[in-house]
Each structure stands twice: as C-alpha cells, then as structure tokens.
Amino acid sequence: MRTAYTSDQIRTAERALMALLPDGTLMRRAATGLSVVCAGLLPGVYGSRVALLVGSGDNGGDALYAGALLARRGARVEAVLAGSRTHQAGLEALREAGGRTVEAPWPDVVRRADLVVDGLVGIGGAGELREPYRRLAVAASEASGLVVAVDVPSGVDASTGRVEGPAVRAQVTVTFGACKNGLLVDPGRSYCGRVELVDIGLGPYLPDPDVVSLTDEDVADLLPRPGAESDKYRRGVIGIIAGSERFTGAAVLSVGGAVRAGAGLVRFAGAKAAVGQVRAHWPEAITTVLDGPSVADVGRVQAWVIGPGLGTGEEARELVRAVLATDVPVLVDADGLTVLAGDRSMLRRSAPTVLTPHAGELSRLLDVPRDRIEAARIAHVRRAVTELGAIVLLKGSTTVVAQEDRPVRVNATGTSWLATGGTGDVLSGIGGTLLSAGLSGYDAASCAAHLHGLAARLASTGNSGGQGPIAAMDVARALPQVIQSL
C-alpha cells in the first residue's frame, strides 16, 4: 500500500529525524537521490546542459547540491537564482564543481537545457506563484528539455493537489521521504509526471497516513475467490435496479459490470424495455419487470445497486426509498444520487451505503459549487462522508474513496479514455458485485475503482502498445482478464 502525507506531517517527521543527524545530512541524501534520477534521464551526463531553477527554500538547496553532483560528472550546469535568498552552502558546492549562476537573459538558459530542474517552491508553497517564479514556471512548462520537479512541482499544493494559476508541468517528480497527497490527486497529479520516491529515512517518524493508494497486491488480497464448496448463492447475489423506457443502455452496462466482475447471480429489475435489452445481452441475469415501486418480487439479494438511467420522477424516488429501506448493503449511483439530493433523510439506515457521485452529483448532494469540489477532492469527499453518513466514491480524473475514520483511498489506475458515457454504470455493477460477495463498502468501492481503471487501460491499449478510444462495454469485457492477472 502506498501512503501519502500532508506537508505538515512531512515537516514534523523531518524535524524529528534531523534532531538525530549532523546538519545538512537530509539535504545531501535528498540531493544525491535527485542527481541519480536526473543522470538516468539524460542520454549522457557529460556535456549535457542542465538548468536549475532555484528558489529561496530548502528545495532550492536540494537543486544546487544535485547540480553540483551533475557538474562533477561533466554536465554544464547553470543556476537561475530566483529567490530573495539562496542556500549558500549549496551555491558554493555548485560553483566549486564548475557550475555557474545566470542573471539574464534566463529564458535562454531554460530553452537550451536538456534537463530543467524545478527547485522554485517546495512543500510549503500554497496559492498562486508570484513573480519571477510565475514566469519561470511557464518557461519550464514550455521547455523542450525534460523537466524534473524537486519534491513537488512549483505551483502545486503538496497537501491538497490544488493548483491556482500557472504551475510547472514536470515529466518526473522526485519526492523525498514519503509521497505527498498532492502528488496523487488531481489537478496536482497531472503536473507531476512519473513520481520517483527517494528514501531519506523518514519512515519511523511518520504518523498513520490520512491518504493511501492500493496496489495490485492489496486488491488481489481483498478480492473474493470461489472455493470448492462455492455455489452461485455463496458467491453473492446482486440486485440491480437501473434503466428506464428511455435509457436502456444503463441497465445493460450495470448488469454487464456485475456479470463480468464475477457475480454469483444477478437479479435485474426495471422497466419493460430495459428488461428486454438485459435479456438480450445477458441471458445469465434473472429479470423482473417492475410494476410500481415495490421490490418484493425481485427475490432475495445480498446487495443492491440502484440509480443508473433510472430517471428522477416520483416512481424513481419511491424505488430508491424502497431499496434503502432494506437491510442489505446498497450502492447508489447516477439518477439515484439526484433523488437523494432532494431527500437526504433516506440515507438514515443501519446497513452500509455506498454513494458513487461525480463532482456534479456531489455538488448537488452537498450544495457546493462543482469547481470547488474538483479543486479540493480530498477535503470534499471527507465532508461528504461526515454529512451523508455513507461511504463515498468520488469519480473523476482522480477517483477517491472515503469512509469515516479511515484513510482516504486514492485510485492510481485508469486512463483519460474512461471519460465516456456508460463507464460509470459498469463501475456500479462491479462495486455492487463486490458488496454482494461480502466485502465492506470501503473495500468494495476501492477495489471496484481499481479493477475498473485496469480494465479501461487494457481495453484502450491496442497492438501498438498505445492507447485509444474505448466504449463502456469494452471495459466490462476486459474485467475477467484483469481479475485473472491479479
């Protein structure tokens, strides 16, 4: 499991470790790791051009020391000193190694560099960059050479991932001691490129994490496996109420996600047109045409999924109310969430409830502007858990899962090609299947997001190894192979 921390947590751990070490030890450890990553990115260190963008903080010192190590290996290192002050020991080390400082015109230094090292603003930075950092961040992002960020790209809030104004877009971010929350969560994550972690010895001094990311191994350990004594009922019976006379596709895709994720039995109930389409696509499912808001005729299930394509009229509201009145876990998605936004009292129940909104749906549930949610996803998913009393999976470019008194789980899988209609319906079927198999709501939501992202990557990867467009059904069809691989 990958753990992440706020900048305050990192600083506290650093202070505890620095009290036991000679002055400058941590910075030299960080700079050595940074220089190794930088050297590995260059075709050859000797003769290469390296531009250091140096701010006033410790990460400016990290950049200077790393630049000195590269200069000793024959790189032509030039440092743009942008801060009001400079780490003097690091600057002396650079000059002694043959590096030099540049006053003006610094844009030429950035443009001609093979490698640009962003040491402008570290983990303490917040809000918009000021000049000259702002202009340097823009120049670095437009550079033709590779850009490496020191600890966190300048302009990205290390604790939240918030980005206000221009920020450095790096191909690689070399972070020290432990991963920071803002490197895992968009919009910050999209500025980081590949994240390389340099161990500087902070481990024993870090607290329990507030943010984590599951690995393939973690998910493999959590996924249910049928045994010799298993039958379809022991493997999990999922009930799905989705689709309508107009939106039949949502029903087909939700059921497809459940079938392909390994449900023991799928019971589908919905409008006549939706039932007809499910029967045609998934003959494995047991179907019921709903006539009114009662779910009594559907049969016994171990978890419910309700909402995709359901509509938001009176009948839909009564169906959501009826499902939430049951004593089994329920996953609510799409139109079901819009219904809940009009009456949050339906969430008062003893069994687990998983909500899977995107930012717009969470905006309605919390009465918060969508852009504020997208700018601070972790803060708002935590707020949603507290206010709604449910497990919340917030979908988006970074999907996050939260439960009261547990670390927020950030999903590290997926692809931008997932941004297409119907993929959320497939996700609801996966999540409901895992709930019916006995996983907790927190684990079911986290594993569903992980599988969904991996399936999308697999579906979008062609024979060339690149990625391309996918349809929602492609994601469902890729699920068995992904689960086998885990």
Residues in the annotated binding site for AMP: 395-399, 424
Binding-site annotation, residues: 58-62, 118, 122-128, 133, 151, 154, 250, 309, 358, 395-399, 424-425
Could you tell me which residues are annotated as the binding site for (6S)-NADPHX?
58-62, 122-128, 133, 151, 250, 309, 358, 425
Q: What would you report as the CA-atom Rg of the chain, rounded to the nearest whole angstrom?
A: 26
Torsion sign across C-alpha atoms 11, 13, 16, 19: negative
Report cis status (omega within 30 of 0) of the bond before 226: no
* Residue indicated by tokens 């493997």: 235
Contact 109, 78 (CB under 8 A): yes
Q: Which two tokens stand for residue 13?
A: 């751990």
Annotated binding site for K(+): 59, 118, 154
- Give whole-number Cα distances, 169 to 188, 335, 421, 465, in Å: 10, 37, 29, 24
Q: Using alpha carbons only, give the angle 473, 477, 482 rounded to the nearest 5 degrees.
A: 130
Write out the two tokens for 352: 């687990």
Alpha-carbon gap, residue 224 to 356, rounded angstroms = 21
Instruction: Tell which residue, 122, 127, 129, has the closest CA to residue 87.
Output: 122
